[in-house]
Chain A
């Protein structure tokens, strides 16, 4: 049974009272849930197909070849075409006066996946936003749906940011805490190491890595962690030093508490406010970092859906303004929400209740 401390409850109430931060959190969680189940909302696979009395749920799981539904190919069914086929069958049956074959399917809200290219006969991509074709935000220069790429790109960027954050914080907190707690030679050694390490030109390393291998998701995370864990150490070191000198730590030590117990039971819980206030900004930084790398071409390889790649396309094709508008708007909204949340958390954790942040 988790029992929240009165302080945490107060902080939570305080957070809720800051409206825009609270609603941003709700909205962002909503977006994360949608992104988590993006296959149901944005996908070229149908949600439900009823074919000759059997129900199919193609969304998750193995692909269903066209032959499953009486089409003449063995590659993945094109469900948008299948829908048209079913409709034609129904009309034909109706015109013959026969019984309705009862075949139908339900497509997701956005019936495209982020990879497929959807060309028209009468025009060349990129296609402008158009309700009838289902491309609500238009397509990019290869005819891929921008909405689909935004959604899947968001999912990837957020996942990247969260994994990056977790890794950076685990390393940063562990080392920073150890520096502050142990002090002495250990502290000195890591101080110098971090100073030197911080001066390695990170961008060059990324460029070199990107020119030698095609950076995968995990390779990018690894490189970013290797050069990003230092940020948290300084804050943790300072606050650990401060906490270590407090009477309650001395008391715990006098009672025979081991180092581990002191760190985990006493010091860490008291530094949590520092960690929590940094989290939203780290997420924002992670998202922008991946976007920037993709924009520069050092990020994930094509055709991975990515905001940076869309941004690059958009800026290269300003005559098709819907590309750049979509991605810039999406990015602004998400970063703004994260910033509002961060602001609210910071205020909620602020012991000086009557300070104002405007």
Chain B
């Protein structure tokens, strides 16, 4: 019994806010357990590919006319510290476990592609390629590569690395069905014309900008990847050479990941990359609890803090002495981007949820409005449907969410045969209770799910809440072992239906068809949509598909958050326009990389804090890009 008594203090101490950072800092300084191997030239004879002739009289296009969006005042240097709530399961870019968790966007951001999109004008701008040209077949795009581009280990990036990417992503050794499909059915071929000219062939063809975006592949370092059956295991913790401004320089398993700025980065003098990616070091601590992370921010150990959800936090936590004294500031920045698909997704392979009436009833039994007006203080808007805010008219404006309506829910459940009610008021059918499990990955969702659970009882539906560790949640999503999952899908500029709704991806693990939609009519329309190269035709198909997908009732739209809210220490400096129309975070070291750390202000702020000197409080609300 002594054991149990003893256990408790250990448990509480282990999770206390004071333990993590101190230990981490110590270990880091001592240079222990750092697991980054320098060797990247792992393949003796990297593959080279045959050149094919380049067509004559191509019309090469570039873009050096759009305004730059970084500030000329930016200063290089300093360490930016941020956090993740769970340690990544792998460092690989591809293969099992490589596409879930917040770390993914960090590694992808340093893995540039041929072209980029201007964050304000949404025009195409150069990145790894300086010029591009369209073929008359509306499927092939030619790219002229920037010969200055280097891998982070100093090797030049050449056409061979792009052709290798095709073979690499198609390989069975990578265990990545999505990539395999993309590099077979979306990208039909990648061809080398000379060392610095390639062409990418799209399988179906697309309207102009979309064709560019879909063919803008990234290269893979062919001198690094030794493809064999051990690849997934061997490369899990190797640091792959990349093309971005930062590369992983130190890792301690479970504790932190540190990125260092390439001192002589190839992009530093290029128009759209100049004055960006300013901190010398970006350190990502693993802090497993959001509240603890915020305490770290308050102590100045994190430079900024993003208020992802829970407005109560913003109102009640983002205030206090450090804000009143102006040491730290608040910013609310409206953006104009396609809205993430935040929702409850119903697995139609589940025996109970395979009945459309049950799904319809479920949609009507979700009292999201009550959540929005209470827990979220009326700060968020309900998503009208799954596809919101896409550019070029892809969003169907006529669709609306299903209202909370117990009468409707009752009617659908009666039709579905869930007529009896048990002693607790939960409906039953043939002795089975109408109990549905909602799987989710962070405790932040518990408060509002609890409200939905209570409201759903009125319709005779029991929700059981399955809160999992983020990694375990990711695995369950991958394996589709859920009845209902709370999940937010990041989105592209235009809808992509194939991955989420084509039967090709149904009933198998590791695909994005998380509802297991398997409907011939939807399949046919998706095939037409994927094949269409005419913008109007694609928009028409897109609208029709959105109607059909809504009709499956396999998705309950939650809410949209059309702004970013962050708190930051005042030494983080921003350009005059603060952020961009499409910013994901204001203080985003890898994506837009616009901010910089002013060492003088940092020293001054810390001194002022010591002396009790104060500054003008900083509270910014920027509505430049607010959509009415």
A residues near B, CB below 8 A? 61-63, 65, 73-76, 115-117, 119, 124-125, 141-144, 168, 198, 202-203, 207, 210-212, 214, 224, 227-228, 230-232, 278, 281-282, 284-286, 288-289, 292-293, 295-297, 301-303, 315-317, 319
Partner among B4, B375, B423, B451 whose Cβ is within 8 Å of the Cβ of A286: B4
Partner among A141, A211, A228 whose Cβ is within 8 Å of the Cβ of B4: A228
Q: Which residue of A lies closest to B463 (CB)?
A: A303
Question: Can you spell out 7 A-B residue pairs with CB atoms less than 8 angstroms apart?
Answer: A62-B423, A117-B451, A141-B375, A231-B1, A231-B4, A292-B8, A302-B465
**Given contact pairs A124-B374, A214-B468, A284-B5, A75 touches B446 in the complex (Cβ within 8 A):** no
Q: Are B374 and A143 in contact (CB under 8 A)?
A: yes
Chain B, range 249-301, C-beta contacts under 8 Å to A: 291
Question: How far does the alpha carbon of A68 sit from the alpha carbon of B377 in the complex, in Å?
Answer: 35
**Given contact pairs A211-B469, A296-B15, A142 touches B5 in the complex (Cβ within 8 A):** no
Q: Are A203 and B11 in contact (CB under 8 A)?
A: yes
- Residues on A with C-beta less than 8 A from B467 are 214, 297, 301-302
Q: Are B377 and A73 in contact (CB under 8 A)?
A: no
Q: Are A317 and B316 in contact (CB under 8 A)?
A: yes
Q: Are B471 and A303 in contact (CB under 8 A)?
A: no
**Would you call B627 an interface residue if the criterion is a C-beta within 8 Å of the partner chain's C-beta atoms?**
no
Question: How far does the alpha carbon of A297 sit from the alpha carbon of B464 in the complex, in Å?
Answer: 16
**Would you call B3 an interface residue if the criterion is a C-beta within 8 Å of the partner chain's C-beta atoms?**
yes
What is the CB-to-nearest-CB distance from A308 to chain B, in angstroms, rounded to a whole number? Answer: 10
- Residues on B with C-beta less than 8 A from A284 are 5
The 10 closest A-B pairs by CB, nearest first: A62-B423, A285-B4, A75-B458, A211-B472, A63-B425, A231-B1, A211-B469, A316-B291, A292-B11, A142-B447
**Would you call B88 an interface residue if the criterion is a C-beta within 8 Å of the partner chain's C-beta atoms?**
no
Extra 5 A-B pairs, beta carbons < 8 Å, given A211-B471, A214-B467, A302-B450: A65-B425, A75-B457, A202-B3, A228-B3, A281-B5
Q: Mark B1-36, 1 if CB is under 8 A from A, else 0.
A: 111110110111011000000000000000000000
What is the CB-to-nearest-CB distance from A173 to chain B, in angstroms, rounded to a whole number? Answer: 12
Question: How far does the alpha carbon of A285 sit from the alpha carbon of B8 in the complex, in Å?
Answer: 8
What is the CB-to-nearest-CB distance from B31 to chain A, in angstroms, rounded to a whole number? Answer: 27
Partner among B377, B450, B460, B471 whose Cβ is within 8 Å of the Cβ of A142: B450
Total A-B pairs in contact (CB under 8 Å)?
128
- Residues on B with C-beta less than 8 A from A210 are 469
- Residues on B with C-beta less than 8 A from A203 are 7, 10-11, 14
Partner among B1, B7, B377, B465 whose Cβ is within 8 Å of the Cβ of A301: B465
Question: How far does the alpha carbon of A328 sit from the alpha carbon of B1 in the complex, in Å?
Answer: 23
Q: Are B1 and A232 in contact (CB under 8 A)?
A: yes
**Given contact pairs A62-B423, A214-B468, A115 touches B1 in the complex (Cβ within 8 A):** no
Q: Are B460 and A75 in contact (CB under 8 A)?
A: yes
Q: Are A125 and B374 in contact (CB under 8 A)?
A: yes
What is the CB-to-nearest-CB distance from B368 to chain A, in angstroms, rounded to a whole number? Answer: 14
**Would you call B225 an interface residue if the criterion is a C-beta within 8 Å of the partner chain's C-beta atoms?**
no
Question: How far does the alpha carbon of A317 sit from the alpha carbon of B316 in the complex, in Å?
Answer: 9
Question: How far does the alpha carbon of A263 sit from the alpha carbon of B12 in the complex, in Å?
Answer: 41
**Would you call B424 an interface residue if the criterion is a C-beta within 8 Å of the partner chain's C-beta atoms?**
yes
Q: Are A289 and B468 in contact (CB under 8 A)?
A: no
- Residues on B with C-beta less than 8 A from A124 are 312, 374-375, 377
Question: How far does the alpha carbon of A76 sit from the alpha carbon of B457 in the complex, in Å?
Answer: 8
- Residues on A with C-beta less than 8 A from B614 are none
Question: How far does the alpha carbon of A289 sit from the alpha carbon of B9 in the complex, in Å?
Answer: 10
Q: Are B447 and A141 in contact (CB under 8 A)?
A: yes
The winner among A116, A207, A232, A302 for most chain B CB atoms within 10 A is A302
Partner among A119, A214, A281, A315 whose Cβ is within 8 Å of the Cβ of B466: A214
Q: Are A285 and B316 in contact (CB under 8 A)?
A: no
Q: Are B458 and A73 in contact (CB under 8 A)?
A: yes
Q: Which residue of A lies closest to B376 (CB)?
A: A124
The winner among A115, A289, A293, A316 for most chain B CB atoms within 10 A is A316
Question: How far does the alpha carbon of A296 sit from the alpha carbon of B400 in the complex, in Å?
Answer: 40
Q: Mark B444-484, 1 if CB is under 8 A from A, else 0.
A: 00111111011001111000111111011000000000000
Question: How far does the alpha carbon of A83 sit from the alpha carbon of B459 in the complex, in Å?
Answer: 22
**Given contact pairs A231-B2, A231-B3, A297-B467, A303 touches B450 in the complex (Cβ within 8 A):** yes
What is the CB-to-nearest-CB distance from B320 to chain A, in angstroms, rounded to a whole number? Answer: 9
**Given contact pairs A75-B406, A141-B312, A289-B8, A125 touches B458 in the complex (Cβ within 8 A):** no
Partner among B7, B11, B374, B424 whose Cβ is within 8 Å of the Cβ of A63: B424
- Residues on B with C-beta less than 8 A from A62 are 422-424
- Residues on B with C-beta less than 8 A from A278 are 1
Partner among A125, A211, A296 whose Cβ is within 8 Å of the Cβ of B468: A211
The winner among B4, B10, B406 for most chain A CB atoms within 10 A is B4
**Would you call B370 an interface residue if the criterion is a C-beta within 8 Å of the partner chain's C-beta atoms?**
yes
Question: How far does the alpha carbon of A125 sit from the alpha carbon of B460 in the complex, in Å?
Answer: 26
What is the CB-to-nearest-CB distance from B55 to chain A, in angstroms, rounded to a whole number? Answer: 55
Partner among A65, A76, A142, A230 whose Cβ is within 8 Å of the Cβ of B375: A142
Q: Are B406 and A73 in contact (CB under 8 A)?
A: yes
Chain B, range 377-406, C-beta contacts under 8 Å to A: 377, 406
**Would you call B160 an interface residue if the criterion is a C-beta within 8 Å of the partner chain's C-beta atoms?**
no
- Residues on B with C-beta less than 8 A from A315 are 291
Question: How far does the alpha carbon of A144 sit from the alpha carbon of B450 in the complex, in Å?
Answer: 10
Q: Which residue of A lies closest to B6 (CB)?
A: A285
Q: Which residue of A lies closest to B443 (CB)?
A: A297
- Residues on B with C-beta less than 8 A from A316 are 291
Q: Are A303 and B465 in contact (CB under 8 A)?
A: yes
- Residues on B with C-beta less than 8 A from A232 are 1
Q: Which residue of A lies closest to B15 (CB)?
A: A296
Q: Which residue of B lies closest to A161 (CB)?
A: B4
What is the CB-to-nearest-CB distance from B438 to chain A, in angstroms, rounded to a whole number? Answer: 10
**Given contact pairs A124-B374, A142-B451, A143-B374, A202 touches B7 in the complex (Cβ within 8 A):** yes
Question: How far does the alpha carbon of A295 sit from the alpha carbon of B450 in the complex, in Å?
Answer: 18
What is the CB-to-nearest-CB distance from A146 to chain B, in angstroms, rounded to a whole number? Answer: 14
What is the CB-to-nearest-CB distance from B200 to chain A, in angstroms, rounded to a whole number? Answer: 41
Q: Are A319 and B316 in contact (CB under 8 A)?
A: yes
Q: Which residue of A lies closest to B451 (CB)?
A: A117
- Residues on B with C-beta less than 8 A from A74 are 410, 421
- Residues on A with C-beta less than 8 A from B5 are 281, 284-285, 288
Partner among A75, A119, A286 whose Cβ is within 8 Å of the Cβ of B459: A75
Question: How far does the alpha carbon of A317 sit from the alpha carbon of B447 in the complex, in Å?
Answer: 13
Question: How far does the alpha carbon of A227 sit from the alpha carbon of B447 in the complex, in Å?
Answer: 32
Chain B, range 178-215, C-beta contacts under 8 Å to A: none
What is the CB-to-nearest-CB distance from B458 to chain A, in angstroms, rounded to a whole number? Answer: 4
Question: How far does the alpha carbon of A286 sit from the alpha carbon of B446 in the complex, in Å?
Answer: 25
- Residues on A with C-beta less than 8 A from B1 are 168, 228, 231-232, 278, 281-282, 285
What is the CB-to-nearest-CB distance from B235 to chain A, in angstroms, rounded to a whole number? Answer: 25
- Residues on A with C-beta less than 8 A from B12 are 292, 295
Question: How far does the alpha carbon of A119 sit from the alpha carbon of B396 in the complex, in Å?
Answer: 35
